[in-house]
Structure 1
Amino acid sequence: MTFLKASKHMQRRITNTLRGAAVFASLGLLATGCSTAASEGSEAGDEASLSYMADDGTCESSPIDGIDWDAAHKFVAPFDEPATDVLATEPLAEPISPDTTFAFLNNGTPIAGIFREGLEQAANAAGVKFINVDTGTDAQSINAAMNSVVELAPDVLLDQSVDAMFFQDQLEQLKDNGTVIVYGGQLNAEEFGLIDSLGGAGSVQVNSEVLSASAIDLTCGTATEFVFYSVPELPSATLQTEAIETSLAELCAECTLRVVDISILDPSPADKIISDLQAHPETQFFISMADQFQIGLHEKAELSGVENARGIGQSSLPTNFQQIADGQQVAGYAVDFGLFMWLQIDEGLRRVQGMDVPYLGDWENVAQTISHSITIRNADEYLGGYVAYPGMEDEFKRMWGK
C-alpha cells in the first residue's frame, strides 16, 4: 500500500509492460441516502459536516471551501443521459468489398474469447471475412503467429489482446503492406506509431476523470479523504492511478488519496476492502478499478460494523446494478462492451476506405456514449445488463450499406 497526496502538477506517464487486455467490474457502495456524519448542530459546509448525495440526487450540505463541487457535478451530469447515437452517423463512402479481410489476434484468455465473439458478430454483419489468429501468450508463439499474419496480409488487424511490443518487426511489415491496425484497449499506441483507439490511453484518462468527479459529486463536496483500490495486474493501473490523482487534485487541492492494490486473483476482495477501511476509519469514500470487488460488500460491512464502505467503481456488472437498486451500493460506472466491439469493426471499415473516424480522439464523447453512471435513480433500468443504444446493430448496418 502506498500513500499519495493529490498533486495538481504531477506529470502523467504511461507504463505498459504487461501483455493482454482485461475488462473487470468495480465496487459500488452502500447507499443510504443523504446521511450526515456530523454531530448535531454542525454548520452546512463545515469540515465536520460530511454528507452523501440523497437517493433523489440532492445534497443536504454545502461543499467545503476549496472543493469545486459545481465543476464535478457538471462534468458527470452527461454520463447520466442516454446515448443519442453510436458515435458515427455518416454512411461508408463505398460499398464494402466481400473480399475485405479482418484478422483478430486471440491470445487464448477468457477476455479474448469475449472480444472474438463481439468482433466476429459485427464482422459477419458487415459481410467481411473474419480470421481468428491464435497467438498464445509467450513471445515465441506470438512471433510465429505474427509471421503468419504478415503472410496473410489482412486489410485490417484487430488487436485488443497482444501488446505491440511483442511483434515490433512484424508491425513494421504490416504497416508497409498497408494493413490497417485497430489497436483497441491498449495504452501505448503512440509509442509504436499507431492510432489510439477505444479503450486506450485517452479513454482511461477520461474514465479516471469521471470516477474522480463522481467521488466529489456523490459526497456533495464534503469529503477530503479518499482511497483508490487499484488492480496491479492491469496494464492501465499506473496510468489510472496518476490520472485519478491529478483530476481529483484539480477539484480538491487539499484532498488526500491513498492507493491500495487488490489483486484480481484475490479470493475475497471485499474482505480486503473491509480490512483496509477498518484500518483507516478516516476514509470517507473509495474509488475502485473493479466493481466486481464490491459484490457482497454490503453484508460484510454490516457484519463487521464498518460504516465507511461507500464508493464507486468501473465496469459494473448486473449484480452491481441489483445491489444499487436494493440500496446496498451507492453507484457504479458501466460500459456497453458490445457497442465497443462493433465500433472496432466500424473503425477498421472507415480507415480502409480512407475515411475520417469521427470518434477517435473525442474521448469524452466516446465515454458519454458507451459508458453510464448507475445510481439508485436508474439501476432498475439495467438489471438485465447495460445497453447504451438499443438497436445499434440496425444503425451500423445502415451505415455499412447492409
Structure 2
Amino acid sequence: MKFPLVAIILALSTSFGAIADVLKIKKDAPKQYVVKKGDTLWDISGIYLDEPWLWPELWQMNPQIDNPHLIYPGDALALIYDADGNPRLVINKAYRKLSPQGRITPKGLNAITTLPLQMIKPYLSYEQAINSDDIKNMPYVLGANENTKTQTLGHILYVKGDLKVHGAYAIYNEGEPYRDLNTGEVLATRASYVGMARAFRSGDESNGLPSSLRVESVKREIKQGDFLMPAMEGQLLPAYFDIHRPLEPVEGQVIASPRQVREFSRMDIVVLNLGSEQNIEPGHVLDLERESPTVIDGPRGPRYPEDSSKFEKLLSDASQLFSNKADEDNTTWKMPKEKVGELIVFKVYDKVSYALITKNQHPIRVGDIAVIH
C-alpha cells in the first residue's frame, strides 16, 4: 500500500524551536501500528522514538491526522517518510474498520490521551499542594450533628466560615509539609481530598453561628479540623498536555513522593521543589540526574569516603577548607552527575510540582536532581 508524501514545512513549532536533524526512528519500530484501548500518544511515540516528548514532530502536518489527540482504538497508523526523509505517522484509512459515521460523536469521549490519566488522575483530582498560610484562612470543620470524631455520608457538618447556600465544597485533610531538602523551607503543605459536602445554611461567624453542610460523598473519614475549598478548585483533569522541554535552564530536586517511599520507578509520581516561580509548566520534560559518589585518593589508593580512615577524611576536609594548601597526598574527587531517568510535570503550584517518571535506568530517589541544562 502506498501513501502520499507529506509536504515539508520549514518552520517547526515554536514550542520546540528549530530542529536541524531528522528525527531518529528506532530500528525495531513497526511500519504499521494499530491503536489499542489504553494507549496514549506518549506510549505510541515511545514505540518509534527514544525521546517520546518529541512526538509533535512525528505527528505534525499530516492531512490524515488533523488533530493527533483525536485518534481512537482501532485506527491503524503507518510510518512514512516525506520528500526530505522526515518520518511521519499517518492513518491508514484503508485499514480503518469503523465507518466515518461511527466516529462523529460518541467516540470523542474515547480518543486517546497524551499521558496515562489512570495513573495521574488521583493526583489531579484528589491531591493538592497548598500554601500553609492559605490553609490557616480557609473554612474548617468544627463538628457534626453526631458526637463522633469522624463523619461520613449523610452527616451534617458545622463549619467555621461563611459559606454560600447551595454551594458545593471539597473537604481536605491537612498532611505533612513539603520541604526543600537543602534549606528546610516549607514550600507547600500536602492536602488530601476526603469528601464533598453542600451548604444548606449560611453561618454568621461574628455571632458564633457555623455554616451547615450535608455530606454528599466520602472518600475517607472526615475529621474535625479538615478544611474546605470550593468544589473543583484545583481539580481540573486535562486529557492533553503540551509536552516540551523548558526554554531556559532549570535545576531542582525530587523532594518527596505522595506514597511516602524513597525509591521510585517508571510511572511513579514524585514531588519537585520547582513550581511556577521557576517558570515550570504542565507538560515540561526534565532529565533526572544523580551525582556519582565522591572518591578520596590518598596514600592507600582511591577509596569512597565511607571506606577511608578518619585521618584521611580529616585531611580531605582540611584540603577543601584550605584549597591553596591542599594536601598533595589526599585528593578529593568530586565526580560528575549522570542521567538516571526522565519525568514529565503534570501539576504545578507556586513552589512545587507533581511529575510522572517516564524513564529510569536506576531506581529514582529522593534527592535526585531534576534538570535542563
* TM-score computed with the length of structure 2 as normaliser: 0.25
Bigger CA radius of gyration: 2
Larger RCO (CA under 8 A, 6+ residues apart): 1
The structure richer in strand per residue is 2
The structure richer in helix per residue is 1
* TM-score computed with the length of structure 1 as normaliser: 0.23
